[in-house]
Structure 1
Amino acid sequence: MAEFTDWSVQAIALWRRVSAYSFENPEDGLDLTRRLAREQGWTIERARGAIHEYRGFCFLCGIADGPLTPSPEVDEVWHLHLIHTRDYWQQFCPQVLGIALHHGPTRGGQAERRRYCEQYARTLASYERWFGPPPLDFWPANRERFANPARMRRVDLRRHLIVPRPRLPNRRWLVVIGGLLAGALATGTAAALSSIAPERTWRFPFMVIAFIFVIVVWLSSSLGGDSDGSDGSDGSDDGGDGGCGGCDCG
Structure 2
Amino acid sequence: MATRTELLRQHRELSIAIRASEDWQASYKDDPKTFKALLAGEADLEASAGAYLRDLAQRSLGYVDWSRLPQPVAADAGPVLNNSDPVWKQEETLLASAILDIVTELVATGAIAGENLYGISIDFTTLDEAILIAARTQVAQLVSNVTATSRDLIRESIRQSIARGEDVNLAKARLLDVINNHNPVRAELIAHTESVNAYQRGLKNFGKVTGAVSKTWDGLAGACKLCSPLVGKTIPIDDLFEGGYDHPSRHPRCRCGLIYNYS
TM-score normalised over the length of structure 2: 0.21
Identify the structure with the greater helix proportion: 2
TM-score normalised to structure 1 length: 0.22
